[in-house]
Amino acid sequence: MFVDERIVTLFKRNAHHTLTYWSLFFSFGLSIAFLGPTIKDLQCQTKSTLSQITWVFFSQQFCLLIGSSVGGIFKRTLFSALSALLVSTLLISVIFAVIPWCTQVLTLAVAMAVSGLAMGVIDTIANIQLVSIYQKDSAVFLQALHFFIGFGALVSPLIADPFLSEHCGNSAGNSAGNSTGNSTGNSTGNVTELTHHFRNTLINSPVAEHNGGEAAAAAAAAGSGVHYAFWIMALINLPVPLAVLFLMYRERLIPCCPGAAPHLLDKDELAMENRQGARAAEPPAPQAGGHGNIFSCCQNDNLRGLPLSFFMIHILGGMVLFMSDGIVGAYAGFVFTYATKPPIGLVPKAAGYLPSIFWAAITAGRLLSIPLSYRFPVVRLLIFNLAGTIVTVLLLLILPNSRAMLYVGTCLCGLFLSSIFPCMLAYTEDILDYQGCATSVLVTSAGMGEMVMTVLVGSIIETNGSYSFLLCGVIIASLGLLIFLALLFFHRLHRNYLTGTTRKSAMVEEETPGASGSPAAEPNEEAQKS
């Protein structure tokens, strides 16, 4: 078998928990992708300009960062973790259901902020829980976990597409362009154009021309059927909180249920406790205060006596994901704009396929990485993926006129970038003995990179032209590889520090019985002389 029986046994032993966390990330993918194809209809629904609707994206991403940062607070007990996941998934379903009634940008931004908080909590807790369950075998299951994000991100536009209006968005787009002018950021306009053409390509219809007529305005005012799409997504997401609730029931964590008692350790948990007790008998490694959020990890009491390598592993690991997820956000946001401008000059209908190819490649890459994570060390996978990203973007930069290379390169970029996050998470937690703080740091850094790099690359494209899009990609990917090589150096230093600590502890243990036995040996020697 490609995956041995031990991995299969581990999965069967924790199948209920694992499948529940995977379904949570499917809900995450639904939430993160629906704004793209529906942004035109939401703009008509709120009667807002392009610059105003931009705050909806910002509010969701910003609160996602906050949720990722504080999500580790709920990791301290299984009850608090599952309770937070239950509330978060219920909030996502509620937000889907109430979006059709958000007729102002402010209310829509508040709704998206709440969904962003819920998504951030899900992101951190699900990753921490899987790492805690599988530990050194977590890479395989993390790859599957992040596959479901891509799967949900692919399903969400397909659900929304039949209910989108072709008329809604034309008049709003014209009014937004007239009101904002050149002051509107190019990145926002690119995202709007991207989602509009991507929607058109899904249904194989020509790109709607701007007519600005009264008929389009009337159709926009009448609204589209997009509210049905949101209600369908709310219903599709509803089984996810039910799955979390059922898991809580199985774990006897619902106080109101009859016969619910404190959960006793079963055989598997008892075996896990025994393994943890055996590890506790080994020489202690530097601890960071246990599982928690970023702020609890940075408390002074937790940082005393820790080597520099401990901090650098957190910082450099976060920077690698800051760069790699930054490329994901920038490439998905601006590949359409790059393709429609010289020297490529694709028609919008053809260029609209590029974002879907990119996300499909990410989804396929995460599925392919599941067996690869078992067969190959995560360090090799990370180096291969980072180097492959650099080579791919560099080839696109060298061959700027090749349309075929753009499609192939987009697919390869998605494949190489797909498994960097789960591999990096498993590798860093393995170095730091699965204490949980690294997960909070990495998840937050990845989300921050996706938000910051998208804005940064968009501003550079606006001032220097579309050709700078690929140049930024090469620079960011190269920095990511260099930072990862620095992380390998500090990993070696940290390993040497742990080895030295172990030797000192062993020497102390050897000296203690010798010191206590030496005085007792002297009377024996005197007795022999007498």
311 shares a domain with 212: no
322 shares a domain with 188: no
Low-confidence ranges of the chain (pLDDT < 70): 1-4, 33, 35-37, 39, 50-51, 54, 72, 75-76, 164-224, 257-305, 348-349, 352, 434-436, 500-530
Angle at 526 between CA 523 and CA 530, to 5 degrees: 135
336 shares a domain with 236: no
Q: Per the domain annotation, does 509 fall within a domain?
A: no
Cα distance between the two ends of the chain: 73
pLDDT the model gives residue 446: 86
CA gap 163, 145 in Å, rounded:
29
191 shares a domain with 68: yes
32 shares a domain with 178: yes
CA gap 80, 253 in Å, rounded:
10
Q: What is the DSSP string of 167-179?
A: STTHHHHHHHHHH
What total of structural domains would you count in the chain?
2
pLDDT the model gives residue 169: 45
421 shares a domain with 341: yes
Ramachandran region, residue 107 (left: φ > 0; alpha: ψ -120 to 50; beta: rest):
alpha
Respond yes or no on whether the N-terminal peptide bond of residue 400 is cis (omega within 30° of 0). Answer: no
pLDDT the model gives residue 392: 94
**Whether the Cβ atoms of residue 336 and residue 198 lie closer than 8 Å to each other:** yes
pTM: 0.63
Looking at the chain, how many residues does it have? 530
Q: Phi then psi for 419, rounded to 5 degrees? A: -100, 5
**Which distant-in-sequence residues (6+ apart) come within 8 Å of 193 by Cβ?**
336, 337, 340, 348
Residue 530 CB coordination number (10 Å) = 5
298 shares a domain with 224: no
CATH number for position 44: 1.20.1250.20
pLDDT the model gives residue 296: 54
292 shares a domain with 250: no
Q: Per the domain annotation, does 261 fall within a domain?
A: no
429 shares a domain with 384: yes
480 shares a domain with 357: yes
Q: Per the domain annotation, does 102 fall within a domain?
A: yes
pLDDT the model gives residue 258: 54
Tokens encoding 358: 């990119």
pLDDT the model gives residue 257: 63
Which of 255, 274, 303 delimits the end of a domain?
A: 255
If you search the block for the tokens 């596959």, which residue do you land on?
A: 147
pLDDT the model gives residue 98: 92
479 shares a domain with 335: yes
Q: Per the domain annotation, does 219 fall within a domain?
A: yes
Q: Per the domain annotation, does 506 fall within a domain?
A: no
Can you list the positions of beta strands (E) in 280-414?
Answer: none
| Model confidence pLDDT, tens digit, residues 222-280 | 445 778 888 888 898 899 999 999 988 888 887 776 544 444 334 444 344 444 444 44
Contacts 24+ apart (CB under 8 A), 306-310: 307/493, 307/494, 307/497, 308/490, 308/493, 309/490, 309/491, 309/493, 309/494, 309/497, 310/286, 310/432, 310/494
209 shares a domain with 143: yes
Instruction: Mark 9-22 as b/e (b = at least 16 C-beta within 10 Å).
Output: ebbebbeebbebbb
Q: Where in the sequence is the domain holding 245, given as residue range(s)?
A: 15-255
Which of 255, 272, 298 delimits the end of a domain?
A: 255
Which of 255, 279, 310 delimits the end of a domain?
A: 255
Q: Per the domain annotation, does 519 fall within a domain?
A: no
Which of 91, 82, 84 is CA-nearest to residue 60? 91
pLDDT the model gives residue 297: 57
If you search the block for the tokens 């904002």, which residue do you land on?
A: 180
| Model confidence pLDDT, tens digit, residues 390-420 | 999 999 999 888 889 999 999 999 999 988 9
